[in-house]
Structure 1
Amino acid sequence: MTDQAVDTSGTAAGSAAGWATGEFFGRERELKALRADIERAGLDTLAGRKAPRARVLLIAGRPGSGRTALAGELAAGLAGDYPDGILHARLTDPGGERVPTDRTARELLDDLGIASPPGAGEDELSAMVRDALAVRRQLLVLDDAVDAEQVDPLLPDNPDCLVVATAQGPLTGIPDVRPCTIGGLDTASAVALLGRSTGAVRITVDPTAAHALAEECGGQPAALTLVGGWLAARPNASVADVTKRLHDMPAGPEQPTGARPLARTFRFVYESLSQPTARMLRLLSLAPAGLVDAHTASALAGCSVSGAQSALDDFAAFGLLRRKSGRQYEVPGCLAPMMKALMEDRDRPTEVQLARARMLERTVRQLQSCRAITDPDGSPARKKLAGLPRALRFSNAPEAAEWLRVRQPALLASAGIAVEDGDLDTLARRLVAALVRALAAHRGAEAAAPDLYGLHRLVLGVAERHGLHREQAAALLNLADLDARTGRMQEALTRYRAALDAGRAAADPYATGRAMESVGGTYQEMGDWQRASDWYGRALEQRLARGEREDAARLYGRLGSVHTYAGRYGEGLRHWRAAAAGHRRLGDLAGHARALSEVARVQEYAGRPHESLRTCQEAVECARQAEDVRLQGALELRLADTLDRLGDPAAAQVHRSAAEALLGEEGSAYEIRSTSPRD
C-alpha cells in the first residue's frame, strides 16, 4: 500500500483517503471511454439480473506508459461519486515480484481501520476485505496487476463499488471487462509534458526538434520525464542535439519494439552520470520493496549520508526515482529491471553481497536505536544509544515511531531479503529480532501481531535451515501463542508440540517447560480438562526437579483451576493449597492471598461455606499485610458475598463498605486475577 502513487509521467495521485491530482497531460479520449464504460450495461443487466459484483475498469499498457497516472486522474474525477473514499493497492513490487494476495488484503484492511488476525490465510483475509466493502460505496484502485488471480479475490460483492485495475495486458478470467489499452501520448500532449521540465522557451524556439524528440521517446511519459529531467539539468543543451544523440543510442536487441524508447532513454541518462553516481543508481535496485532513503543509499554505495541525499535529489529530478512522503523515494517499477540488469552486468557478485550486507547492518543499527529511545533516561540501552553516530540516533520516541511507520514496508521487505539470501543468516536473525523489538515497543504486541507473525515465520525458516533448535523452539512458541490468541487451537497445539521437540533437541529446559505448560493451557482453553491436567503435571515435575519454586507455585494453581473446572474439588483444593504454600515460602504475600481466595472459592463450590469463610478471612489478612489495597478490596467483596449466602447481611454490609472504601469508584467492578488466565 502506498501513501502516494506518483507515476513516472510526473502526475501525482493522492493517498488511499483521496486522490489529489497534479498536472495531467492528454488522455482525454481514454478518460471519456472509461467514464462511459461505468455507465455501460453489463452482461448481467442485459440478462435481466442484478450485477453481483463491482464493475471493473481495466487500463492496459506497458510499464512507463502512464497507466498509473491515468488511473489516478480517473479516480480523482470520480471521487465525489464514492463517499466512502478511495483505496489504492499495488500488486507488483518495483523489482517485478508479484505481491501475495494476503499481504495486499492485510494492507487494505489496515487502510479501512480493520484489524486483521495474525497468521490468517489468503482466503480469510480476502473475505474480510469483501465483507468490509459490501456495505460501502468505495473506489478501489488495483495497480500493476500481474493476472486475474490477484484481482478476483479482492473484488467487492457490491455493485455500488468500482474497481480500477492497471495491468500490462488483459485480465483473462474476470468477466465483463473491456480493457482500455493505452500507448504513447499524442504529440501535442507529449511536447507539453516535455516542456514542463525544460521550460516553454526551449520548446518554442525549436518546435520541430521538440516534436522529433517526443516521437523519439515514443510518446511514453516515463521516457519523456527522463529526457526532460536531463535537459532541465543542462540549460545549455539543445533539444535538437539531444534528439540526434538519442536517435543514435542503440537499444538492446533483446528489448521488444514497444519497450525500446524507454530503454534507450534510460541508457542515455544513465551514461551521463558520473561513475560513483551511476554505481549508486545500479545498487538502488537492491532497495527493499523499491523504497529508498538517504541511509539506504549511503549504506549501499558506501558514501556519506549527506552525499547520498544529494544524489537521491538529483535522481528524483531526472525522473529516475519518485518522491514519496518525507525524504523517502521509490524506484519506478518500469526502471527497476534495467537498473538490476546493469548491476548484474557491471558489479561483481562479491561487491553486490557486500553492499547488501552494509544496507542490512545499517538497518539493524537504526532499529536498535528506534527501540532504545523508548527506554528511560539512564538505562543501559539509552547509554549505548548515545554512543551511536548522530545520523543513526532519534531525538525522541515520537520521531522514532514516525520513522518506523514510514519505513515499515521497507523494513519488512529487508527481513525477507535477508532470510532469502541464505548467506547472511546471522545478520538476518539480528535484523528480525531488532524489528520485532522495535514494533512491539512502539506499537504494542497486540497491534503489531500480524507483522510479528510473519517475522517469527522468517526466523523459523532460518532456524530450520541451519538446525538451530533453540531458535526454532522460540519461533514455534511465538507462532503458537499468536495462533492460540486468534482461536486456531489445533494449529497452536501442533506448534507447541513441535517446540517441545525442538527444545528437547536443544536441551533447553525453558523451552521444554514453556511448551508443556502451553500445551496444557491450550487443552484447558478447549475444555479438555484431563489432557490439560496431564500436561500441567509434566511441566510441574520438571519445575520441581529443577528447584524452580515460583514456576512450580504457578503450575500448582493451574492444576487447581483445571481440577475445579472438571468438578474434582478434592484435587482442586489439594493443588490450590500447594500453590498457597509455595507462595508463602517464597514470601509472596499477594500471591499467597490470591491462592487462598481460590481455596475459598473451591470450598464454597464443594459445599463447605464455613470453611470458605475462614479461608477468605485469612486471605484478606494476607492482602492487608502485603499492602495490596486493590486485592484487599476485592477479597472484602468476596467475603461479603460469602456472608450473604450464610445469612448474615449485617456483617456482609460491613465488609462491602470496607471494600468500597478501599476500591473507591471501582467498587464491585474489580475482580481477583488468579494465576490462571481462565480464572
Structure 2
Amino acid sequence: MTDQALDTDGARLSDGVAAESHFLGRTRELKELRADIERAGLDTLSGKKPPRARVLLIAGRPGSGRTALAEELVRQVADDYADGVLRARLGEPDGTPVPVERAARQLLTALGLTAPPGAGEDDLTEALRTALAGRRTLLLLDDAAGAEQVDALLPDAPDCLVVAVSAGPLTGIADVRPCTLGGLDTKSALELLTRHTGSVRITVDPRAAESLVEACQGQPTALNLAGGWLAARPKAAVSDLAKRLHAEADEGTPLGRVFRFVYDQLPGTAARILRLLSLAPAGLADPHTASALAGCTVGAAHTTLDDLVALGLLRAVDSPLPQYEVPGCLHPLLCALAETHDRPAELQLARARMLERTVRLLQSCRAITETDNPDAREKLQGLPRALRFPSPRAAAEWLSIRRPALLASARLAVADGELDTLARRLMSQLVRAMVAHVGTQAAAPDLYGIHGLVLDVAERRKLPRERAAALLNLGDLDARTGRTREALVRYRAALDAGREANDPYATGRAMESVGGTHQELGDHDRAADWFGRALAQRLARGERAEAARLYGRIATAHTYAGRYGEALRNWRAAASGHRKNGDVAAHARALSELARVQEYAGRPQESLHTCQEAVEWARRAEDVRLQAALQLRLADTLERLGDPAAARLHRGAAERMLGEEGQESCENEPEREHGADACEIRSASVED
C-alpha cells in the first residue's frame, strides 16, 4: 500500500466508485472510520442539528500510507454520496501550504463553476460553501498543513463528509474524528513485498522477510522501496537486505534508511537525475524536465524515469503523456542529497536549464497555432525536433496536462525576487500560450495569478516599469470580468508607476484605460478628459495612428454625453487622421460614425451625404460587412427623408451583399468597430 497521487490539477469531481483497488491491510482502521461516519456528533447529542460537515482525520507521517487509506475509504463509501467526490491537495511536495483561495478555486472548477479572476479567499470559500449547500458530497483534502486550511473549505452542509489527511491533529475544528496510522500488520506487509519479489523469495525464508518488515517498521513506502530494489536484483537475498537495514537501525527513520540504501545502489546518471528532480515544479516531471535538469537526451531521461518508477522512487501519473511525480515523503530526502552532492552553482544552472526548456516548449506550443505567420513558422522550424509538437491539438493537450507544473514554474521563477531575463521570458510565453490555446477569458484566473506574482516582486524590488505592466494587465482582467472600480484603482496605480519609470507606453496606456473605465462607469466627462490627456501625449510623440484612434474615443464619449458638436469635431479629426495615415478601412468606419452623430444632431441631409462617402471608402477597403451596414443606414435615413423607393434600393443592395440572415448583425457593424472599448489591450512583456 502506498500514498496514491491525486490528479495533477489538484482537485477533481468523481461521480462514481473507483475501480477495485489493490489495497492491503488497515481493516481495523477502515472499520473504525466507517463507524465514525454514522456515530452521533456532539451537536446531535445536545439536540442540535449539525451545522457543518463531519470531518474524519487520517493522521500519519509521510510514507505511512495515509493517502491510500483515505482513497480506499472514499472508494468504499462513495456510493452513499450522490453528488460525487471532490479531491484537493492542500500541500506542495516541499511542505509549503497551498493557499486557500487556490484550493477553493480548484474545487469550484471541479464542480463546473467559475469565480471572477482575482476574487479573494473569503469570496471563493463563500462561493464554495454556497455551491455545496444542500448537496451530499464527499471531500478528500490531502496533505493538509493545518486546521485553518480545512476549516476554510469546510461545507456548511451536514450531509457532506470531509476526509482530511494530515501529519498531525487539526486542533480548532470541532468534533474531528482522528485515525492515527502506524505500520502495516505483518501479514499485509509480507503480501506487499510478495507483489514485488514473487512468492518464492518470501516463502523460502519467511524469517528474513519478517525481519525486513520489522526493519521497515511496516511503513508502506519503505516496503515498496525495499521490494523494488529486490525485484531489480533477482539474485539478492532478502536476508542480506534485512541485515543491512538492521545494522543501521540507529540512523534516521526506516524510510530514510531504505531510501539511502536504494539510492546508493543507483548508477551515477540515475542518481543525479533523481537528486535534481527535487527542483521539479510542484514535484511533477516529464522526460523534458529530467533531460533539462541533467543535461542529457530526452530519450535517456525517459528510460531513467521509468527505471526509477520500477524502484518505487517515483510515481507514474495516469496521463496521456508521460508524466511522473516525486512522492512527497521523499522530497526532503532528495533536497538534502542535492545540497550535499551538488554545488549551489550547479543547482542554479540546472534550474536555469529547466526553465529555458520550458520557455522553448511554450514558444513551440504557441507558434504552432500561428499557421499564417511566416515568422512563427520559421521560428518553429528552427527548434529541435524534440521540442516541436505534431499538431495544435497535441500542443493544447500538453499545455492542459502540464498546466499545474507550468504555473508552479512561474512561481519558482520569481520566488527569489529577481525578475531576470529568463523569468520575464517564461512569464511572457506562458501568458501567450494560454491565450492562444484557451483564450483570455478562460485563462483569466491563471493569468491573474501570474500577473499578481510579477506585481508582488516588482513592489518588493522597487521595479516601477514591471509594476506598471503588471497593474495594467491586472486592470484589464478586472475590467473584463465586471470589476470596473477595482480596474480603475489598478489603472491609476499603473499611471503613477509608469510616470516613475518614465515609460511613455505605460503612461499613455494607463491614461487611456482610466478614460475607458470612467466611460464604462457612465462618467463621460471624465472619460473625454482622460482620452484627451492620452491624445496630447500621442501627438507630442508623433504617433499619428494612435492619435487618430483616440480622436474617435473622445468623440464616442461626447456622443454618449449628448455633446454632438464636440463629437462631430472629433470624428472629423479621426477621419482626417486615418485618411492621412492611409488606413482606408478606419477612415470608412470613422465616416460612418460621423454620419450617425449627424443624424443624432438633426442633420439628416449631412448624414446622407457623409454616409454615401463612407460607402465609397468602404468599397475601396473591400469591407463588405461595413458596406452592407452603411447601405442599411442609408435606407433608414432615406425613409426618414420621405424617399421609400430609394430606401428599398439600398436595403436590397445590403441583402444581396450578405443575405437576409446577416442583416441584423450588419446593422450594428459600425458600432462594434467604435464601441466603448476600442483600445487594443497589449502586454508590456518583452517579445522573444
- TM-score computed with the length of structure 2 as normaliser: 0.91
C-alpha contact (below 8 Å) 2:4/2:67 kept by paired residues: no
Is residue 315 of structure 1 aligned with residue 314 of structure 2?
no
2:440 alignment partner, SS class? coil
- CA 1:573/1:384 → structure 2, altered by over 3 Å: closer, same or farther? closer
2:50 alignment partner, SS class? coil
| Distance of 2:547 and 2:123 partners within structure 1 | 40
| Distance of 2:55 and 2:632 partners within structure 1 | 62
Code of the aligned partner of 1:321 = L
- CA 1:519/1:13 → structure 2, altered by over 3 Å: closer, same or farther? closer
Structure 1 stretch displaced more, 327-336 or 639-648? 639-648
| Distance of 1:415 and 1:545 partners within structure 2 | 38
| Distance of 1:469 and 1:489 partners within structure 2 | 23
2:441 alignment partner, SS class? coil
Structure 1 stretch displaced more, 600-609 or 430-439? 600-609
Q: Please state how far the C-alpha of 1:466 moved relative to its aligned partner.
A: 5.5
1:58 alignment partner, SS class? strand
1:370 to 365, 371, 375: 365
Q: How many pairs align?
A: 667
Is residue 96 of structure 1 aligned with residue 92 of structure 2?
no
| Distance of 2:568 and 2:135 partners within structure 1 | 55
What is the match of residue 146 of structure 1? 145
Deviations 1:257-280 (A, max 9, x none): xxx222222222222223333232
C-alpha contact (below 8 Å) 2:419/2:457 kept by paired residues: no
C-alpha contact (below 8 Å) 1:640/1:652 kept by paired residues: yes
2:269 to 256, 273, 276: 276
1:59 alignment partner, SS class? strand
1:632 alignment partner, SS class? helix
Q: What pairs with 1:249-260 in structure 2 (closer than 5 Å)?
A: 249-252=248-251, 260=253
| Distance of 1:251 and 1:405 partners within structure 2 | 46
| Distance of 1:502 and 1:435 partners within structure 2 | 24
| Distance of 1:542 and 1:377 partners within structure 2 | 34
What is the match of residue 664 of structure 2? 668
Code of the aligned partner of 1:555 = L
- CA 1:158/1:607 → structure 2, altered by over 3 Å: closer, same or farther? farther
C-alpha contact (below 8 Å) 1:226/1:320 kept by paired residues: yes
C-alpha contact (below 8 Å) 1:13/1:72 kept by paired residues: no
What is the match of residue 290 of structure 1? 283
| Distance of 1:578 and 1:377 partners within structure 2 | 34
Code of the aligned partner of 1:667 = Q
| Distance of 2:20 and 2:510 partners within structure 1 | 55
What is the match of residue 238 of structure 2? 239
What is the match of residue 561 of structure 1? 556
1:573 to 562, 568, 579: 568
Code of the aligned partner of 1:203 = I
C-alpha contact (below 8 Å) 2:215/2:249 kept by paired residues: no
Q: Please state how far the C-alpha of 1:504 moved relative to its aligned partner.
A: 3.1
1:25 alignment partner, SS class? coil
| Distance of 1:556 and 1:378 partners within structure 2 | 31
Structure 1 stretch displaced more, 262-271 or 513-522? 262-271
Q: What pairs with 1:3-14 in structure 2 (closer than 5 Å)?
A: 8=2
Q: What pairs with 1:640-651 in structure 2 (closer than 5 Å)?
A: 640-646=635-641, 651=646
1:144 alignment partner, SS class? strand
Structure 1 stretch displaced more, 207-216 or 312-321? 207-216
C-alpha contact (below 8 Å) 2:6/2:89 kept by paired residues: no
1:119 alignment partner, SS class? coil
Code of the aligned partner of 1:355 = A
- CA 1:424/1:594 → structure 2, altered by over 3 Å: closer, same or farther? closer
Deviations 1:500-537 (A, max 9, x none): 23333444322222111111111111112222111111
Q: Please state how far the C-alpha of 1:150 moved relative to its aligned partner.
A: 0.8
Q: Please state how far the C-alpha of 1:21 moved relative to its aligned partner.
A: 4.1
Q: Please state how far the C-alpha of 1:431 moved relative to its aligned partner.
A: 1.5
| Distance of 2:469 and 2:265 partners within structure 1 | 51
Q: Please state how far the C-alpha of 1:379 moved relative to its aligned partner.
A: 2.0
- CA 1:503/1:264 → structure 2, altered by over 3 Å: closer, same or farther? same
| Distance of 2:594 and 2:373 partners within structure 1 | 44
Give the unaligned 5+ runs of structure 1: 1-6
What is the match of residue 349 of structure 1? 344
- CA 1:385/1:623 → structure 2, altered by over 3 Å: closer, same or farther? closer
Q: Please state how far the C-alpha of 1:359 moved relative to its aligned partner.
A: 1.6
- CA 1:466/1:12 → structure 2, altered by over 3 Å: closer, same or farther? closer
What is the match of residue 197 of structure 2? 198
Give the unaligned 5+ runs of structure 2: 679-688
2:390 to 387, 395, 405: 395
Q: Please state how far the C-alpha of 1:644 moved relative to its aligned partner.
A: 4.6
Q: Please state how far the C-alpha of 1:676 moved relative to its aligned partner.
A: 3.2
Q: Please state how far the C-alpha of 1:463 moved relative to its aligned partner.
A: 4.3
What is the match of residue 681 of structure 2? none
| Distance of 2:610 and 2:268 partners within structure 1 | 82
What is the match of residue 482 of structure 1? 477
Code of the aligned partner of 1:184 = G
| Distance of 1:528 and 1:183 partners within structure 2 | 66
Structure 1 stretch displaced more, 315-324 or 350-359? 350-359
| Distance of 2:609 and 2:290 partners within structure 1 | 71
1:532 to 523, 527, 543: 527
What is the match of residue 267 of structure 1? 260
Q: What pairs with 1:630-649 in structure 2 (closer than 5 Å)?
A: 630-646=625-641
What is the match of residue 4 of structure 1? none
Deviations 1:427-482 (A, max 9, x none): 21122122122222222222212112222233334545555544433222212111
C-alpha contact (below 8 Å) 1:223/1:262 kept by paired residues: yes
C-alpha contact (below 8 Å) 1:282/1:343 kept by paired residues: yes
1:583 to 578, 583, 600: 578
Q: Please state how far the C-alpha of 1:148 moved relative to its aligned partner.
A: 1.5
What is the match of residue 686 of structure 2? none
Structure 1 stretch displaced more, 45-54 or 549-558? 45-54
C-alpha contact (below 8 Å) 1:595/1:674 kept by paired residues: no
Is residue 455 of structure 1 aligned with residue 450 of structure 2?
yes
Structure 1 stretch displaced more, 17-26 or 142-151? 17-26
**RMSD (CA atoms):** 2.5
| Distance of 2:130 and 2:143 partners within structure 1 | 24
What is the match of residue 3 of structure 1? none
- CA 1:614/1:53 → structure 2, altered by over 3 Å: closer, same or farther? farther
C-alpha contact (below 8 Å) 1:13/1:20 kept by paired residues: no
| Distance of 1:187 and 1:553 partners within structure 2 | 81
Q: Please state how far the C-alpha of 1:639 moved relative to its aligned partner.
A: 3.2
Q: What pairs with 1:588-627 in structure 2 (closer than 5 Å)?
A: 588-627=583-622
1:114 alignment partner, SS class? coil
C-alpha contact (below 8 Å) 1:155/1:163 kept by paired residues: yes
| Distance of 2:626 and 2:159 partners within structure 1 | 55
What is the match of residue 179 of structure 1? 178
1:420 alignment partner, SS class? coil
2:433 to 435, 438, 441: 438
What is the match of residue 105 of structure 1? 104
C-alpha contact (below 8 Å) 2:551/2:574 kept by paired residues: yes
Q: Please state how far the C-alpha of 1:588 moved relative to its aligned partner.
A: 3.3
2:442 alignment partner, SS class? coil
Code of the aligned partner of 1:58 = L
C-alpha contact (below 8 Å) 1:11/1:21 kept by paired residues: no
Code of the aligned partner of 1:282 = R
| Distance of 1:385 and 1:579 partners within structure 2 | 39
1:88 alignment partner, SS class? strand
C-alpha contact (below 8 Å) 2:418/2:457 kept by paired residues: no
What is the match of residue 384 of structure 1? 379
C-alpha contact (below 8 Å) 1:480/1:493 kept by paired residues: yes
Q: What pairs with 1:396-411 in structure 2 (closer than 5 Å)?
A: 396-411=391-406
| Distance of 1:184 and 1:190 partners within structure 2 | 9
C-alpha contact (below 8 Å) 1:9/1:225 kept by paired residues: no
Code of the aligned partner of 1:261 = P
C-alpha contact (below 8 Å) 1:12/1:21 kept by paired residues: no
C-alpha contact (below 8 Å) 1:187/1:219 kept by paired residues: yes
1:553 alignment partner, SS class? helix
